[in-house]
Structure 1
Amino acid sequence: MSAEKIILVDDEDELRHSTAQALELAGFDVLDFASAERATHLAGFGFRGIVITDIRMSGMDGLTLMNRLHELDRDIPVILITGHGDVQLAVRAMREGAYDFLEKPFVTSQLAELAQRALDYRRLVLENRVLRAAAGQSDDLEQRLLGRSNVMVELRRKIRTIGPTDTDVLIIGDTGSGKEVTARALHDLSQRASKPYVAINCAALPANLIESELFGHEVGAFPGAMRARFGKFELAQGGTILLDDIGSMPMDVQGRLLRVIQDRTITRLGSNDPLPLDVRFIATSRTPLEADVAAGRFRADLLYRLNVITLEIPPLDARREDIPLLFLQLVSEAASRYRRDPVSVPPRVLSALGEQQWPGNVRELRNAADRFILDLGLPFLDTPQDDAGPDASPRLAERVAAFERGIIENALIAHGGSLKPVYESLGLSRKSLYEKMQKYGLDRARYFGGQDSDI
């Protein structure tokens, strides 16, 4: 069986089965699902395959699925299947990142040819990532969790160490700091990478159905249970379960979860037969859970089971030196996502970004990058300095100095702290660059990316 897979999503059973059969006869390895949610459990950053999805479906539609997948990896090819009335919608989706689309009714040989091209493209993307890593450039993890600060280097080291193990992990971090990205990276680095990754938002589970959602149920387990149903735990068999915002889980459900983690078995509602569960648990929390334990809101025994290993994700305030580099990367991603031409970020913008507070962390910074690439402006740059009055305006020499410092810092970021390409690109001598860096308090170690090109 080929390691490359096609995920096919369509809520029309007959069409989905016939399309899957035709693709399998053409030599492809196909996984077909009636709902889009299942696809997000299987396709991640290192997914070796493509996704083919109908645009109009009950529940999550094809465009939403594409956007969810591209949040995980913008280079996953998504082929859209559309009806005649949705062609304009599909064309818009092409501008937003869809690989291609086919209009119903289509010839299966045409779909097979398109799928092969998409698989070839995906293979090249993954091979190029491996080659870049072998050449000493940023690997997948550095692309996902960008930053040259000491705290980020240490975080990536821990993830590379912990990822291949099968131990449960607790991730602590502020809103928007990258907890879910870290959890997905741990899954993708593990032996479970080809198995489902099921994210459960503990704060969003309906209180009256939470046990059914997690554990599943048998026919007649409660009024309205007309058919048996798999729970989310069972759907993750062999893979990883992310318990997002674990602190919001009700105390009574915490007790059942503790037993699941201890015994690695589950029992559906309405059944007495335990089912073995082969999963890895990763939990996230915005704050350390010890305070919730002390307040009686979280079980101490569950905390001890979950925090076999604890990873703390640093907020942007703890790694302010990463903000310019991170913003440049987010602007590049936004340009690709919105099909805009790449743009340069002025040094004064990078400098201003580093002076701002980012309570929403990377998520808030990503929103700023989107506004920048869409030319919607940044709030802290909306008022020109000259409008503040002559007394508040910096002198010309100060402006020139700030501009020069920004140019040098931008070049240091772009070249990963390697000085030779910096002074060559700026037309300076090595001595002049050293003097200016000393004058402006620029330490190359803050921008160092692992290469040493000074000679």
Structure 2
Amino acid sequence: MSEGLVLLVDDEEELRFSTAQALELHGLKVKAFASGEDILERVGYGFDGVVVTDIRMPGIDGMTLLHRIRELDHEIPVILVTGHGDVQLAVKAMREGAYDFIEKPFASQGLAGVVRHALDRRSLVLENRRLRAVAGKRDDIESRLPGRTPVMVDLRYRLRAIGATEADTLIIGETGAGKEVVARSLHDISARAKGPFLAINCASLPETLIESELFGHEAGAFPGALRARYGKFEHGRGGTILLDEIGSMPIDLQAKFLRVLQERTITRLGSNEVVPLDVRFLATSKVDLAEEVAAGRFRADLFYRLNVVTIRVPSLVQRRADVPLLFLQLVREACARYGRDDMQVAPEIISEIAERDWPGNVRELRNAADRLVLGLETGLDSAAADARAGLRLIDKVGAYEKQVIAGTIAAHGGSLRPVYEQLGISRKTLYEKMQKYGLDKKLALGERDSEAYGPEN
């Protein structure tokens, strides 16, 4: 029998209950939810199950949920449940990466069969990832945080070292550098991987309701509180809670959160009952919290409590050599998300990508990859043309030759043989031109090429 968890999403309570019960009678483990928002904290790179969702729902509908899940891991099977009039939409969803769809009304045995096949496929995907890691190939962490530069190698080492611990961690990095990816990676390699991963954006919480949102409340705790409600901290029990941009947390709330960190308990608004809290806390910040402490905007005691383990996520400026290969990976991921065939990226585009500054970091680079895959204007060609404007003919020829060579090297992942074969030149000529244009051979070389690198006689 297939193992793994089925996350069922349907806003209709009766149908949700009956479908969950039917799948359980077929020997499947099911957790049912009324909203797609509720399951996003439970799926990730290490999720060992499948998602079954209705396609028509208020809030996050099935199509939006499909796209959100594929952003986390495009190999998580998503099965859509459709009405008769939604078949065309479901076919479109299949093109965009859905595993399968089943039309209402359906036999529970048919849905159970599709779910089992999807669970088997997911199990195979996860096993292949484990085998690749055992064989010394890229593991989950390297797939999500690729790069050969020393700062990225060190980042992955630190993640593996502290991931299995229960240490609360502060993650520092510029906007778009990948702080949430780092946080999810820490969660997925920890003992809490099967628990929820709950991201809370401290900057977006309404100031008047922030305590209620985080700690929960009892009925009658304040005007409008008609019934008791769990807070986000309680929803995260057994898993990991990410406090995104913790520097935006109001100063008076910081004292209460410090107590939560120290005692691992909370008290709901309007209650005297202490609730134990089994969670691991991660926090991110794009600003230097030490400077915020000096300016009086962040509590020093909370900073020192969070600063026991700190991870700094490098910007693309700090890892320029990774940009070409990272862009190619983002293009492959975009092709998978949008149901497109893998595409070859022209060497001159890769070269332009490598030379550009990316103030938005990986997020901006991913947007450029998405636009390229979707056939939209990227702005890269015009930027390169502006940079080359006014050059003499010999300089334009040289600049173009450098772009082609650098782009081809990056496109082949640093393996030199296919580079000079594709360009129709000898290895010696390639070596000389790399020297002429100051191309960094450390960026160009893979480990297998490093010893053999040299001009042909």
TM-score range, shorter chain: over 0.9
> Does structure 1 residue 412 correspond to structure 2 residue 384?
no
The normalised TM-score by structure 1 is 0.93
Instruction: Supply the AA of the counterpart residue of 2:410.
Output: I
Alpha-carbon shift at residue 380 of structure 1 (Å): 3.5
Instruction: Supply the AA of the counterpart residue of 2:193.
Output: A
Residues 88-112 of structure 1: CA deviation (Å, up to 9, x unaligned)? 3222222222111112111111111
Residue of structure 2 equivalent to 1:229: 229
Question: Is the 8 Å Cα contact of residues 81 and 104 (structure 1) preserved in structure 2?
Answer: yes
Q: Distance in 1 between matches of 2:157 and 2:297?
A: 33
- Structure 1 window deviating more from structure 2 (279-288 vs 84-93): it is 84-93
Residue of structure 2 equivalent to 1:162: 162
Instruction: Supply the AA of the counterpart residue of 2:9.
Output: V
- Structure 1 window deviating more from structure 2 (420-429 vs 76-85): it is 420-429
Cα 1:212–1:417, aligned 2, differ >3 Å: closer, same or farther? same
> Does structure 1 residue 439 correspond to structure 2 residue 433?
no
Q: Distance in 1 between matches of 2:306 and 2:258?
A: 9
Alpha-carbon shift at residue 131 of structure 1 (Å): 2.8
Question: Is the 8 Å Cα contact of residues 420 and 453 (structure 1) preserved in structure 2?
Answer: no
Q: Distance in 2 between matches of 1:54 and 1:220?
A: 35
Alpha-carbon shift at residue 236 of structure 1 (Å): 0.8
Cα 1:128–1:387, aligned 2, differ >3 Å: closer, same or farther? closer
Residue of structure 2 equivalent to 1:172: 172
Question: Is the 8 Å Cα contact of residues 419 and 453 (structure 1) preserved in structure 2?
Answer: no
Q: Distance in 2 between matches of 1:368 and 1:387?
A: 19
Question: Is the 8 Å Cα contact of residues 84 and 104 (structure 1) preserved in structure 2?
Answer: yes
Question: Is the 8 Å Cα contact of residues 347 and 403 (structure 1) preserved in structure 2?
Answer: no
Instruction: Supply the AA of the counterpart residue of 2:8.
Output: L
Residue of structure 2 equivalent to 1:301: 301
- Structure 1 window deviating more from structure 2 (62-71 vs 364-373): it is 62-71
> Does structure 1 residue 346 correspond to structure 2 residue 343?
no
> Does structure 1 residue 266 correspond to structure 2 residue 266?
yes
Correspondence 1:15-164 to 2 at 5 A:
15-164=15-164
Question: Is the 8 Å Cα contact of residues 409 and 442 (structure 1) preserved in structure 2?
Answer: yes
3-state DSSP of counterpart to 2:281: strand
> Does structure 1 residue 377 correspond to structure 2 residue 377?
yes
Residue of structure 1 equivalent to 2:455: none
Cα 1:57–1:249, aligned 2, differ >3 Å: closer, same or farther? same
Cα 1:114–1:428, aligned 2, differ >3 Å: closer, same or farther? same
The normalised TM-score by structure 2 is 0.92
Cα 1:394–1:374, aligned 2, differ >3 Å: closer, same or farther? farther
Q: Distance in 2 between matches of 1:431 and 1:388?
A: 28
The alignment covers a number of residue pairs equal to 452
Residues 123-153 of structure 1: CA deviation (Å, up to 9, x unaligned)? 2222222233333332211111121111111
Question: Is the 8 Å Cα contact of residues 67 and 337 (structure 2) preserved in structure 1?
Answer: no
Question: Is the 8 Å Cα contact of residues 10 and 35 (structure 1) preserved in structure 2?
Answer: yes
Cα 1:83–1:18, aligned 2, differ >3 Å: closer, same or farther? same
Q: Distance in 2 between matches of 1:289 and 1:357?
A: 26
Residues 380-413 of structure 1: CA deviation (Å, up to 9, x unaligned)? 4137849987xx2442x54554444444434433
Correspondence 1:443-454 to 2 at 5 A:
443-451=440-448
Q: Distance in 2 between matches of 1:218 and 1:140?
A: 42
Question: Is the 8 Å Cα contact of residues 416 and 450 (structure 1) preserved in structure 2?
Answer: no
Q: Distance in 2 between matches of 1:288 and 1:260?
A: 23
Q: Distance in 1 between matches of 2:269 and 2:195?
A: 25
Alpha-carbon shift at residue 378 of structure 1 (Å): 1.8
Q: Distance in 2 between matches of 1:331 and 1:394?
A: 34
Correspondence 1:362-373 to 2 at 5 A:
362-373=362-373
Cα 1:76–1:387, aligned 2, differ >3 Å: closer, same or farther? closer
| Structure 1 gaps, min length 5 | none
Question: Is the 8 Å Cα contact of residues 234 and 277 (structure 1) preserved in structure 2?
Answer: yes
- Structure 1 window deviating more from structure 2 (372-381 vs 207-216): it is 372-381
| Structure 2 gaps, min length 5 | 453-457
* Identity level (%): 62
- Structure 1 window deviating more from structure 2 (188-197 vs 141-150): it is 141-150
Cα 1:7–1:451, aligned 2, differ >3 Å: closer, same or farther? farther
What do you get for the CA RMSD once the two structures are aligned? 2.3
